[in-house]
Structure 1
Amino acid sequence: MAKVLIVDDSAIMRRNLAAIMGRGGHEVIGEALNGMQALAEYGNLHPDIVTMDITMPLSDGIEALGKLLGRYPDARVVMISAINQKDRVFEAIKLGAKNYIIKPFEEDKVINIINQVLGLK
């Protein structure tokens, strides 16, 4: 079981991802509403993996990813993206994101990507 930090400004998305993680055998140990909170929560919680929405207020997912990996180079981050954000996804992968998930979620795909990034497959 992996410890997961979910970063998304949408309560519905956080709830949906948390439910999927739970059914996939992982534990959500924290949530953040934006990139600034994500940095603080990561430092406090030290999760095994982070799901990070690309579009958020204050500090978006790309900016937060860069700062997070600057402080914690071994962090495993999976980006969450809307289907029309392909360029931003590629930017995140270049910065060091381990993979990405496109909304709307397909539960099996989410769990497979998380497990693959964690080395469980």
Structure 2
Amino acid sequence: MSSQPVHGGGELIPRPEKTFPALRTALAQVAPSRLPEMTTERDTVFTMATQSNSFGPIAMFQLKWAAVIEIERRPDLARRLHAAERAAQELDNSDPAWQAAMDEIRAIMNAARAAVAGDTGDTGE
């Protein structure tokens, strides 16, 4: 049994805003082990944005982490993604099941990105 509240649709937390503080807070709730990865990537992205005088890298960072959180805040979706990732790592890439796992990963990630970008509320289920 989860110690975190489950919101409508099996969501652990509501979808956060795409601001760095909101994304960091949400990630701390749904995937705290990934906080160091997010912080390191943030530092790299902000340096790239400064050097290129462009907000593009920051926007991509926000979209990526919003999509990660979109998946992790939905335990059913996270289980599907992690199972597909394990299969992709364990299977030989000539195995048709490897391609199926890669297709599942791609579909989940694309649906999560679309959901957080406002294209759709659905995350591929």
User: Normalising by structure 2, what TM-score?
Assistant: 0.28
Q: Which has the larger radius of gyration?
A: 2
TM-score, length of structure 1 as denominator length: 0.28
Higher strand share: 1
Greater helix proportion? 2
